[in-house]
Structure 1
Amino acid sequence: MMTGAFTFSFYQLVIAAFSPLSSQVTRSIHVGFLLLMTFLIYPMLSSGRMKRLPWYDVALALTGFALGFYHWIFEADLIQRAGSPTTTDLVVGTVVILLVFEASRRVLGLALPLICGLFLAYGFFGQYLPGDFAHRPYAYDQIVSQLYLGVEGIYGIPTLVSATYIFLFILFGAFLEQAGMIQLFNNLALGFVGQSRGGPAKVAVISSGLMGSISGSGVANVLTVGQFTIPLMKRFGYSPVFAAAVEATSSMGGQIMPPVMGAVAFIMAETLNIPYVEVCKTALIPAVLYYATAFWMVHLEAGRRNLHGLDKDQCPNPWKAMRERWYLLAPLAALVFMLFEGFTPMYAGLTGLALTAVLILGATLTAAIGPTVFRIFFWIVIGLGAAAFVKLGIWAILSLIAVLLLGNLFVKGGRKTLHIMRTSLINGARHAVPVGMACALVGVIVGILTLTGVATSFAGFIIAVGSHSLFASLVLTMLVCLILGMGIPTIPNYIITSSIAAPALLKLGVPLIVSHLFVFYFGIMADLTPPVALAAFAAASIAKASPMKIGFKATQIAIAGFVIPYMAVYHPALVMQGGTWADTGYLVGKAVLAIGLWGAASIGYLYVPLKWSERILALIAAILLVAVIPYSDTLGFCLAAIFLIRHGLSRRRQPVQHLV
């Protein structure tokens, strides 16, 4: 298994650096590696244990991997006989589709395969349905060709993005994690906010947001960063439910936080055919507001419970942490710079990954010589990073990596560093399996939607609803996202809903990128929303608390994630889509005030505990500030002023009290 994972990562690096194969072949071999990894790692039954690999899993793994080369071996023949598949093509295609279903069931559970199976059944038998949802009959060879031989099925855009951008950035996150980036983020967060009121929870918000912006995986972030932050919050007085909810909320927000965001952002950029940096720019303000909400909520909860921060001797010096590991920020800085300078995500990610590898290898090698040599070495790396902005630069970095790999064989600690590199490659491949299998299987839905045109019927229903009320269409789309998100990951959730609902919202006057962000955000919120909140269940395993209670509390903390998408639809200037800077500033200020009022009403505390009448007043003011009705802003500002004046007078009449 480890050999397969290592080879998988090595193959993906070759593809990223040199692009030696055609797009179709790249996707096919990528899925072959995914099938190999899945059947070697995941048992047939969830309760099974992999003490010894069963012969049938080995057979399935090797079969899936071997068939991944079918498009490469017969590439020219498949092109020449396009539209007229042979019996062998159909047999191979059928086997691969079945293997993708079974592999996805093992990795992701039953929900997504069942949904995709229903769409596949619709392709075969939809002609018997009544009304607008019926379609003309399709032969078996047409459906298999659509799903396997073309690029609109399991080898569609999601698989392309998985085989290029997504894998590369997952590997980048794995290298940074092994290099100590999580520890650096934790130390920085502890140093800067650990001593403030409610410091442990603020540390969770900051460190989870920073790491989530790189890894882009919410649930995985809960299980890694949460091992540190949740016990810390519990130890300093936060309830287990609140501590777990804060971590779940902060970790899931990483998928909407630039520069890396989640895998969906890359799929969105490819689907909309826009630069990735445009997705980042559009998502920036909502992401900041999301984390501002979480930060404000933990601050108020700390005040309500009279929770103080950590002692000074328990908080590391952030500047010392920066001095010791500041070089880890160089690859991230290079990545951000290259993305915003117009380089492709693949080239930027490859450069960042290569710089990370150089720094990990070089840190050990130069430590054996002295700090002065390390400084010289680092500036050489910076120079090579600058050189990577031209075509020959990546060759220079790859050559340096080869030299450093050889040098680490002969210095103290070098073999341990080489083991870290190997572990990073293996972990990156393992982390890519769930994302890759979701991308491959959801291609079944995309392929059937494209073949039958059923998406047009559902979109027509949304448009019909929207002709009477755009708000009703948005609520309907939100509910679809939340319901789908109860059983499937964010990636297939986004692909399904964006294929169906986003074109309909576009016809209702919603800008295309805003409509895609709308379904993207609610796909993420589904992981926080009961009854099936994956992030809440992951946090519950650490906090030892009720997942349902955690889900409801996380929904309360993450309220911005539910409100801001609606504001963006009615006021695209909030996401910098039209309007002036003044319009954007006004909307941001209004949103910040609404967040402040919501937090006070929800927690029941501002400077002193709030009476119920004050909480209701603050809640109504917050709702009016985000509502789109005549004079709502004026009423909202007036009620907010009344609330603040009234609360200020209450504060003067009584000493500061805290509810424990």
Structure 2
Amino acid sequence: MTETSQQTQTFLSSEPEEAVEGLPPGFGEGIAGRIAFWIAVTFSAFQLYTAAYGTLPSQIVRAMHVGFLLLLGFALLANLRATTVAGKIWFWLLGALGFATGVYNWVEYNALIQRSGFLTNLDLAVGVVLIVLVFEGARRLMGLPLAIIAGVFLAYCFFGNYLPPPFIHRGYDFAQIIENFAFGTEGIYGTPVYVSAAYIFIFVVFAAFLERAGMIALFNDVALGLVGNWRGGPAQVCVLSSALMGTISGSGVANVVASGQFTIPLMKRFGFRAAFAGGIEATSSMGGQIMPPVMGAVAFIMAETLNVPYADVVKAAIIPAMLYFGACFWQVHLEAGKANLQGLDKASLPNPWQAVKQHWALILPLAALVYLLFAGYTPIFAGTMGLALTIVLILGTPLAALIGPFAFRVVFWVALGLAAAAFMRFGVNILALVLGALVLACLLFKGGRETLAVCIDSLAYGAKNALPVGIACAIVGIVIGTLTLTGIASTFIGAIIAIGQNNLFLSLLLTMITCLVLGMGIPTIPNYIITSSLAGPALLELGVPLIVSHMFVFYFGIMADLTPPVALAAFAAAPMAKESGMKIAVNATKLAVAGFVVPFMAVYTPALMLQDAGPIALSFGYPVEVAYIVLKACLGIALWGVAVVGFLFARLAAWERLAAFAAGVLLVLALPLTDEAGFVLAALVIGQHWWRTANAARATQ
């Protein structure tokens, strides 16, 4: 990983232990830090207002979203990165210019529509400033790789007409290129920024509120209590807590930084190798991005791109997510057995049910979110409702405690429930009245004022956490704009189709390599957007179901953060593990076997993602086919785990590992008689190993 990328992860996730001058940590010192903090709060308030009422045109919301991203991003760079007064002034100036581009689009909205295709010199100047600032912001906040990739695409627009066939295009003048990228909805203000402004931001703020309310502590207690006493307990806790964190978090690398500080040292003290401990944290944290309902925010972009209900995307991800984390649990179990490591002392672990009993209210917003998403409500409505319920719980808890007797608290919560029901029926105005009343009540006493301060802090941290995702969505608009303007995507699609007509597997392999290469140093969201634009249509043309084709590129975009040589998640875990990032990446790649296998299996057996029915469904019914596919996937992945670790009941001989790997391959392949051969070979390998181990145990008695 590049030095810039390492600094970026530290910068975006850095939170000093103590606040400076009474400010929440992470925004800088003095007046400048206070200004940056209130910019973040204003950013969140603007986005939540537009999501709730939606009175502004989409183009204005997108422009202001990017304007706020640039203002907040450069403000944080000025406060946390710049070391000289001139540097601080320079970054603040860039931030003000970035915000001005959003205001310009707002003020000139109607005029810009009327003079579309005939922009003035001032329009073009604003467009140039916007493009330059988006590149600079992405370079500073996300590292060089993403900026370089977008720069190559932008350069192609200017100079592609000088290239040889098949890459040549007809050529475009300067004004047309600037208008395409800086105005309208085909460039920077394209679909990715729309999804960032409309969906992702709400869910990131939602996660920030849940974290501040104590959800992370609840997840850790539940994970410790449930699996801490299993074989290899600390590593099992890491896997489960990361899976739970994935339900609310939108960043795998952020998960590594947040939970790794606790889990990696615990695993090392317990006896796990440093590289394996870091690999477990990186693998399970990145797996959080395929864990419904948030799925690293890619689910929202996928649903918008495919024009399918969000619930369909989530349902397709459920079984693969279970297989992914099941594989992690299994390999931890095997590694712990190989090293003869037992679980933690159960008496010293927290009671998970007691933790849930004490903090059950925190589960309500997440449960409401899942219900609303699967009930067919839009992600905007579901996210707004979940966020509003979280705020009501945070503000209402100290008030309920003041009421005293249990009966009064019950009446209080029932009243809040009725208010939530009224919101479902009559909209945001009722909920706004409830929230306003709670805010006024909280202002009347000290505990309430402190609770209100927590909510304001959550708004600020939500905006800060949304910054890397938003900037990535903005600059990837350059790539999407190039594809739509020049049509170069059709060349790539044609090449994949030409290969796939003779061999679908080779097309899938080419797509996988493209995802892994593009993922070297760029986040999952832009990786998915780019590769789905290039390869998604080709896979669909080759007969791969729509959602499966996009899930394929999504999963390998995630795997890019685990595979060498540029493995962002592995290198983020390296300082905490005190081990080489490359060694951690190698271990993470082994642990993430399900992430590499499941996408290929789903292409040949779409029932794995609850998509098209196959021949088994025609004879025995769809549930039987799904159960059968899941069974052989579990067995195949388990055998590969055995082959990688080299342990089952005891250490395996080399030929046993090869046989286990071969049995797994046969089970994964969707060819005639391979399933039967795989089951037979698996039974022989497992049976023979058990017999050999049992005889060896009897011989030592």
What's the TM-score, normalizing by structure 1? 0.97
- What secondary structure sits across from 2:180 in the alignment? helix
**1:569 aligned residue:** 603
* Residues 1:187 and 1:52: Cα distance change in structure 2 (over 3 Å): farther
Q: Which amino acid aligns with 1:566?
A: F
- Per-residue deviation at 1:50? 7.8
Q: Which amino acid aligns with 2:314?
A: C
Q: Which amino acid aligns with 1:474?
A: L
- What secondary structure sits across from 1:131 in the alignment? coil
User: Is 1:172 equivalent to 2:206 in the alignment?
Assistant: yes
User: Is 1:384 equivalent to 2:424 in the alignment?
Assistant: no
User: Is 1:493 equivalent to 2:518 in the alignment?
Assistant: no
- Per-residue deviation at 1:48? 4.4
Alpha-carbon contact 2:78-2:89 (below 8 Å) kept: no
**1:7 aligned residue:** 42
Which one of the candidate residues 673, 677, 680 is aligned to 1:631?
Answer: 673
Which one of the candidate residues 269, 276, 284 is aligned to 1:242?
Answer: 276
**2:653 aligned residue:** 611
CA separation in 2, counterparts of 1:316 and 1:431? Answer: 30
**1:137 aligned residue:** 171
- What secondary structure sits across from 2:370 in the alignment? helix
CA separation in 1, counterparts of 2:405 and 2:77? Answer: 45
User: Is 1:41 equivalent to 2:69 in the alignment?
Assistant: no
CA separation in 2, counterparts of 1:444 and 1:371? Answer: 59
- Per-residue deviation at 1:412? 4.1
- Relative to structure 2, which stretch is displaced further, 407-416 or 606-615? 407-416
CA separation in 2, counterparts of 1:427 and 1:649? Answer: 57
**2:640 aligned residue:** 598
- Relative to structure 2, which stretch is displaced further, 4-13 or 375-384? 375-384
Alpha-carbon contact 2:545-2:612 (below 8 Å) kept: no
What is the correspondence of 1:102-251 to structure 2 with a 5 Å cutoff? 102-251=136-285
- Per-residue deviation at 1:583? 1.7
CA separation in 1, counterparts of 2:84 and 2:601? Answer: 49
**2:626 aligned residue:** 584
**1:364 aligned residue:** 398
User: Is 1:29 equivalent to 2:83 in the alignment?
Assistant: no
Alpha-carbon contact 1:41-1:50 (below 8 Å) kept: no
Q: Deviations over 1:211-244 (max 9, x none)?
A: 1121121000111111111122112111111111
Q: Deviations over 1:258-283 (max 9, x none)?
A: 11211111111000011111100111
What is the correspondence of 1:50-61 to structure 2 with a 5 Å cutoff? 54-61=88-95
- Per-residue deviation at 1:371? 5.4
* Residues 1:309 and 1:52: Cα distance change in structure 2 (over 3 Å): farther
- What secondary structure sits across from 2:425 in the alignment? coil
CA separation in 1, counterparts of 2:317 and 2:212? Answer: 28
* Residues 1:538 and 1:51: Cα distance change in structure 2 (over 3 Å): farther
* Residues 1:51 and 1:653: Cα distance change in structure 2 (over 3 Å): farther
* Residues 1:66 and 1:336: Cα distance change in structure 2 (over 3 Å): same
User: Is 1:516 equivalent to 2:550 in the alignment?
Assistant: yes
Q: Deviations over 1:384-425 (max 9, x none)?
A: 333332233x33332222222222223342232122112111
* Residues 1:50 and 1:538: Cα distance change in structure 2 (over 3 Å): farther
**1:83 aligned residue:** 117
**2:451 aligned residue:** 417
Which one of the candidate residues 554, 569, 573 is aligned to 1:535?
Answer: 569
**2:55 aligned residue:** 20
Q: Which amino acid aligns with 1:78?
A: L
CA separation in 1, counterparts of 2:409 and 2:573? Answer: 40
* Residues 1:399 and 1:605: Cα distance change in structure 2 (over 3 Å): same
- What secondary structure sits across from 1:134 in the alignment? coil
User: Is 1:341 equivalent to 2:375 in the alignment?
Assistant: yes
Q: Which amino acid aligns with 1:36?
A: L
Alpha-carbon contact 1:158-1:267 (below 8 Å) kept: yes
**1:352 aligned residue:** 386
- What secondary structure sits across from 1:68 in the alignment? helix
Alpha-carbon contact 1:368-1:411 (below 8 Å) kept: no
- Per-residue deviation at 1:473? 0.7
Percentage identity across aligned positions? Answer: 56
Q: Which amino acid aligns with 2:421?
A: A
Q: How many pairs align?
A: 656
- Per-residue deviation at 1:573? 1.2
* Residues 1:608 and 1:380: Cα distance change in structure 2 (over 3 Å): farther
- What secondary structure sits across from 2:246 in the alignment? helix
Alpha-carbon contact 2:521-2:567 (below 8 Å) kept: no
- Per-residue deviation at 1:186? 0.7
- Per-residue deviation at 1:72? 1.4
User: Is 1:468 equivalent to 2:510 in the alignment?
Assistant: no
CA separation in 1, counterparts of 2:116 and 2:192? Answer: 22
CA separation in 1, counterparts of 2:441 and 2:39? Answer: 26
CA separation in 1, counterparts of 2:118 and 2:698? Answer: 79
List runs of 5+ in structure 2 lacking aligned partners: 1-35, 614-621
CA separation in 2, counterparts of 1:637 and 1:481? Answer: 32
CA separation in 1, counterparts of 2:43 and 2:37? Answer: 10
Q: Which amino acid aligns with 2:74?
A: F
User: Is 1:375 equivalent to 2:410 in the alignment?
Assistant: yes
CA separation in 2, counterparts of 1:50 and 1:24? Answer: 37
- Per-residue deviation at 1:18? 0.6
Q: Which amino acid aligns with 1:25?
A: I
CA separation in 2, counterparts of 1:112 and 1:103? Answer: 11
* Residues 1:546 and 1:51: Cα distance change in structure 2 (over 3 Å): farther
Q: Deviations over 1:338-366 (max 9, x none)?
A: 00111100110001001101111111222
Alpha-carbon contact 1:609-1:657 (below 8 Å) kept: no
- Per-residue deviation at 1:164? 1.1
- Per-residue deviation at 1:613? 2.0
Q: Deviations over 1:92-135 (max 9, x none)?
A: 11111111111111111111111111111110110111111100
User: Is 1:648 equivalent to 2:683 in the alignment?
Assistant: no
